[in-house]
Each structure stands twice: as C-alpha cells, then as structure tokens.
A and B are shown apart, each in its own frame.
Chain A
Amino acid sequence: MIPVTGTPPVPAGGSSAAAASGGDAPHSLPGDVLDDLTPEQLAAQWEEEKPPAAGALANAASSLVVIGVGIGAVVLSIAMGLGTPEKPQPGLWPFIISSVMVALGLFQLIAGRHNRDAEKFTRMSTAPLTGLVTLAAMVALMPLIGFELPALVLCIIWMRFLGGETWRSTLVVSAGVVIAFYGIFVLALNTSIPHLF
C-alpha cells in the first residue's frame, strides 16, 4: 500500500489565484470564484497578484545609492563654499539638503531592513529593459535617419514582443500610428522634428 502521507504536493500557501496570475497568460479565473469575494478577500488577492517583494538586499542597495548621491552632493557643496547663515555661499542650501538625504539614507538602511515595499526584478523586468533599449536607440537614431523608421520599429517591438499582439494587428496599427504622427507633427504642426521623408 502507498502510505497516505505521500499525498500529492500542495503548493505551500498557494491558491488558484496565485497559480493563475504567475505567468504571462492573461488572468483567466473562473468568474464565479472571483465574484464572491468580500473586500477583505479582494484586498488579499490583490496583494497576492503584486509582483514579488524584494528583500533586504534591495533596501540596502537603494539606501547605499541614496547615501552615495548624498555624500557626493555634500562634497560638491562644501567645494562651492558654505558661508554663514547671514552671508550664505552657493553651497549652503545644497549642503543642508544633501546632509538630510544622507541622514535619511542611513535611517532607511537600518530601519528599512524589513520593509517589503520594493519589488523584485523578475523575468517580467526584461520588458521594461527592452522598452528602454528601444527608446535609447530611437533617441540615438532620430537625428541621423529621422523619426519614422525608429518609431515604426519601436511600435512593432512593443506591440508584438512586449504586448503579445498578433503580427497582423501589430503591423497595421504600427503603420497607422507612424503615419498619424507624421501627419500631426510634420504636416499639421510643422515642427522641426527630424524626419526622413
């Protein structure tokens, strides 16, 4: 006989909601399960669907960045000269702010260790990264070859690969968007946006 204790593994603390919302797939829970939630349960479910919280490392890293920026600004402010309250030099006010910033950073470093308000970088974070690369590429290419082609490529990447649209709607909408922007910014408003055509 198979021992009863060897029951199929149940995901710890998991619910159907958590399982369904984990992947890229659109949320498709049976409506009935969702519909009878009280506000409290609904709140709990929203909590579950949030991206996973980052741990102490994220807090330490962000606090250290804050402290670093603060210290840098303190040093630069002192170099500008502080002066006295009745005869302030340009550095006094930035010095005050950056000192406060360093203090807050230190406080956050220690007191915020157990905070869970930062989000983990997950597989999903490649989407904004891709988005960012396309934006940077567009900024770099616009002065060289005009905005039309980079904009078209950006639309296609965002819709097809980041948004999961079909090829057909991607191409149709992207072309439409670029033509519309050309019409608005070049033909109608006559702005000096670099354009190819």
Chain B
Amino acid sequence: MDFLNPVINGFAVVLEPTNLLYCLVGVVIGMLIGVLPGLGPAATIAILLPLTYNVEPVTAIIMLAGIFYGAQYGGTITSVLLRLPGEASSVVTVFDGYQMAKQGRAGTALGLASIGSFIGGTAAIIGLTFLAPLVASFALDFGPPEYTALALLGILLVATISNGAKAKALVAAALGLLLATVGRDIFTGESRFTFGSLQLADGIDFVPIAMGIFGLGEILYNLEERHRAAKAPSKVTNVWPSRNDLKQASGAIGRGSVLGFFLGILPGGGATIASMASYAMEKKRAKQPERFGKGAPEGVAGPETANNAAATSSFIPLLTLGIPANATMALMFGALLIQGVTPGPQLVEQNPELFWGVVNSMYIGNILLLIMSLPLVGIFVKILRVRAAILAPVTALITLLGAYTINNSMFDVTLVVVFGIIGYLMKKFGFEPGPLVLAFVLGELLESSMRRSLLVFGGDPSGFFGRPISATLLVVFVLVAVLPAIRAAIAKRKGTTASAGAATEGAAHTIKEKV
C-alpha cells in the first residue's frame, strides 16, 4: 500500500479550502475563456501568471491546470451553438455538433460532449496516476546528456508539429533559445547580450515574455480579426442525453479516452491533434461514414473526449521529465520555476504533496466542470453575448497592470508591450509563438546540460551517442528532423492523393491555433 499513501495524502491537500477555491476559480475561468471569443487557454494562463506569485505552488498549479482543462469543456459550447470553435481543439466538434443543434438536439450534443469530456478526463487522471511515477522512476538516472537530448527533441517536436511552415517554427524556437541566453552566463559569470543594461543583467524574466508574446500579442492580433457576431440561442434544453444516445456514443468515448491519453503524452501532441485524430478515426470506423457532418453523435463525443484526455495526460512529460509537451505546459513549467520548484523526475519523490495535489485536484475539477456544463450550462450560454469589443480592453488592462505587480516596475510593463509587438508580428508573418516560449523555458536547461555533458565527455560531442538513452533520443531527433523532407520527396514523386482526413485537417489549419 506504499504506493497509495502519497496519493491519498494528495486528496488531503486538495480538500484544503484554499485549494478547493482556487480549483473552482481555475475551472470557472477556463470554462469562461472557452466560451468567450478571443483568448485561448495559453494566453489566459500567461496573463494570469502574476496572480500565482503570492500563493503556494500547489495552489497556483491547481488553478492554472483548471484553466487549461476547463477551456476544453467551454470550447464545445460555441462550436455546437454558433459553429465558432471556442478553442482550436474544438474545431472538429463543429462539423457534427452544429448539425445536431440545427436538428434541435443542441442539448444532446452538449450533454454528450460533457459526459465524454468527464470520462476522458477522469480516465486520463487514472492513467496519469499509474504511469507518471513509472516514467519518473525510469528517468531518475537521466544525466545531463539525456536531458540535452530530451530537451532538443522536445523543442524540435513542438516546432515541427505546429501549424504552418516548419522552418518558421524552428526560427521561433531559435529566437527563444537566444533570448534565454540574455544575462549572466552561469558558467563564467560574464554578461551576454545585455548591451550594458542593468535591468537585463539578470536575464529576461519568463513572465513578461509569456505575457507579451502569448497575451498581448494575441489581444492585438484579435483586434484585427473581425469577430463574426453571431446570435446566440437564448436557451438550451434537454442536456441529459437519452440512454440510446449514450449507447451510440459509448464506443467513441472509450476510444477517444485511450487515443487522447496517448497523443497527449507525446511531445508536440495535445488536445488539438487528439480531437482531430479521434474524429478521423470515428469516421473511418463508422458503418455509415456518410452520417458524419450531418449530426452524428459520435463525431461530437469522440473528439471532445479525446481533447480532454489529452489535456490531462500532457501533464505527464512535464511532471515526470520536466519537459513540457506543448506551449501551455511551457507556461506551467515557468509558473513552477517562479515558485522555486523545478519539475523533473524527482518531483514525485521530493514534492509528493505538490504532485498528487495537482493530479487529484483534476478529479474535483472535472466534477465541477461536469456540473457547470450539464445543469448550469444555461449560464454559460448567456455569457456568449459578451462582446469581444468590451473584452479586449479589459484583458489588455489586466495584462499591463498585472505585469506591473510582478516586481513593481515599469520596466516589466515596457517589456510586455515590446514582446506584445513581437508576438503580433510573429503571428502576422506566420511564425508560431509557441515554440519560442517553449524554447525560452528550456533554454537554460539545454545549455547547462549540454555544457556539463561536454565537460564529462572531455569536449567530444560523439559522447552523446555512447550512452544508450541519449543516443536513442538523438536518433529520433534526427529522424524527426529529416523525415518530413523525405516524405515530401516521396509525395512529389507519387503525386499527391487527397486523403479522407484532408478536409478536417484543412479546416483546423485555417483556424489559427489559438494558444
């Protein structure tokens, strides 16, 4: 029973009133931003980072995690009712969800989606509970060479799996690594890229970068996008699906849970890819695939389950290896670092109350979200009427004033605005901001482990290939880097054939990934 003791202690942590309150705050904010147009979960988490300074680490992460998986629930509502995906991970829900709404079954679609989300989320927490300590114990013997390889692979995967041009995503990642070198060199103590500025001597803080690039950049970018005004229905009734509906969707929910869980673990994976994969799989498996796009309940239940499972399981690489799997997890990583907690394999052992507190809070969060999205869904449907025009200045002000409160300095506010401009221009020119923030977070780890490894190897880079795990990771790195080029060459020779998933993929690409 040794294994279960810390798990049970984790529940004690969750049930502390403060943690319960922050969990509730997190999931409500998540649900709200899922419903409201404009900001995605990563932008919201970035903007709210200053809030986490004055609370316990476990409380802070409980809230931020709640925002992340809460947004997966909320995004469904706009997809189904307005055919506007609230989040990138709910894009495929539009296809069948909106058709169901047109047939007067909006309630059923939302009900199925929330039940699926709940099951997917809960299944993924249980999976996380058993898998995470295993991965962590395996990674305990990782040395600097393994971390070098792992960080490189993580950055590469996130960059190559993102939408848009891969080279541009890699440029963004390189820029992030470069920004991470600003300040004092940890090995020699010399200043790098500070241009004589005292404020840059200690390096650039993570928070202004995240708030600027993700938060303000997104706000500015949204100013340009005309938010299609849509009339929200005033009422949604009948959110409890019938037994027949549940029966029809149960297979999709089961498959979505498993698929989402595994896609979420992969670096660069996450909720968006999981939902698209699940939709494609359900369509392929269906006896009458032509029902898809015309209101098939599986087309809603599957992807919605998968995106929640993936959102939950993407915590595994962060909490066990210290490698964030996607941009949102990079923010969690940054938030933990601010609190003086370095995520990594030793986290489960050294900080069990943090680890299990966060994991177990997700059960509570999912129950709260189920309540909010079944009996209380009417409230959130009403919130659909809040206009983007009113929301934008409020979020911008929260960002600026929040940035000031970090160190009580205008310098941070100025940095946020500067990075806001960079973030906006990056989006405009097709550079994903996600890889930049991820690479920035991993930059110091990558440099220091690489230099430590080289010290161990006596300056010989081939030493990385002398250790089995780092060698394997680096081989995968090379494969990932080279494979797209090979595949493109083969495709060119064959002449491309339109695949079944092409349409859904295309649709997801047009909605710029909302970070």
- A contacts, CB < 8 Å to B: 21, 24, 26-28, 34-35, 38-40, 42-43, 46-47, 49-51, 54, 58, 62, 66, 69-70, 73, 76, 80, 84-91, 93-94, 97-98, 100-101, 104-105, 107-108, 111-112, 115, 117-119, 121, 124-125, 127-128, 131-132, 135-136, 138-139, 142-143, 147, 151, 154-155, 158-159, 162-165, 169, 173-174, 177, 181, 185, 189, 191-193
Contact = CB atoms under 8 A, between A and B. Distances in A.
Interface stretch (B136-144, B309-317, B356-364, B447-455): B447-455
A105 B224 contact: no
Nearest to A89: B188
B388 interface: yes
Given A51-B225, A97-B178, A128-B223, 17 more contacts: A39-B503, A51-B224, A54-B429, A88-B451, A98-B178, A115-B165, A117-B168, A118-B429, A125-B224, A139-B410, A142-B413, A143-B410, A155-B393, A159-B389, A159-B390, A165-B390, A193-B405
A154 B229 contact: no
Contacts of B397: 151, 154-155, 177, 181
Given A154-B397, A163-B389, A85 B461 contact: yes
Given A39-B95, A192-B408, A159 B393 contact: yes
B414 A139 contact: yes
Contacts of B221: 128
Given A35-B102, A42-B95, A97 B181 contact: yes
B300 interface: no
B421 A132 contact: yes
Contact of A26 (B94, B193, B226): B226
A43 B504 contact: yes
B459 A87 contact: yes
Contacts of A62: 168, 429-431
Contacts of B181: 93-94, 97
B175 interface: yes
A98 B413 CA distance: 27
A160 to B, nearest CB: 9
Nearest to B174: A101
Contact of B430 (A69, A70, A118): A118
A76 B454 contact: no
A54 B228 CA distance: 22
Contacts of A21: 226, 228
**Chain B interface residue count: which class?**
35 or more
A108 B230 CA distance: 39
Given A46-B510, A76-B193, A158-B396, A90 B188 contact: yes
B18 to A, nearest CB: 17
B404 A73 contact: no
23 contacts: A26-B229, A42-B507, A51-B225, A54-B429, A62-B431, A86-B455, A87-B459, A88-B187, A94-B181, A97-B174, A101-B171, A101-B178, A107-B167, A111-B167, A112-B168, A119-B428, A131-B392, A135-B216, A135-B396, A139-B400, A142-B404, A142-B410, A192-B408
Contact of B171 (A94, A105, A162): A105
A111 B170 CA distance: 14
A154 B396 contact: yes
B417 interface: yes
Contacts of B164: 117
Contacts of A181: 397, 401
Contacts of A136: 417
Q: Most chain-A Cβ atoms within 10 A of its Cβ — which of B102, B167, B387, B417?
A: B167
Nearest to B390: A173
Nearest to B394: A177
A162 B401 CA distance: 21
A104 B171 contact: yes
A47 B510 contact: yes
Contacts of B95: 39, 42
A108 B293 contact: no
A29 to B, nearest CB: 10
B170 A104 contact: yes
A165 B190 contact: no
Interface in B473-508: 503-504, 506-507
B429 A90 contact: no
Given A43-B506, A80-B192, A163 B417 contact: no
Contacts of A164: 389
B511 to A, nearest CB: 7
B435 to A, nearest CB: 12
A173 to B, nearest CB: 6
Contacts of B511: 46
Contacts of B389: 158-159, 162-165
A80 B457 CA distance: 24
Contacts of A117: 164-165, 168, 430
A104 B94 CA distance: 36
Contacts of A191: 404-405, 408
A26 B421 CA distance: 26
A166 to B, nearest CB: 10
B185 interface: yes
B401 A185 contact: yes
B293 A39 contact: yes
A69 B175 contact: yes
Interface in B173-188: 174-175, 177-178, 181, 185, 187-188
B392 A162 contact: yes
Contact of A43 (B83, B393, B510): B510
B223 A139 contact: no
Q: Most chain-A Cβ atoms within 10 A of its Cβ — which of B181, B221, B293?
A: B181
B201 interface: no
Contacts of A107: 167
Given A117-B430, A127-B224, A185-B405, A90 B190 contact: yes
A105 B420 CA distance: 22
B458 to A, nearest CB: 6
A132 B390 CA distance: 17
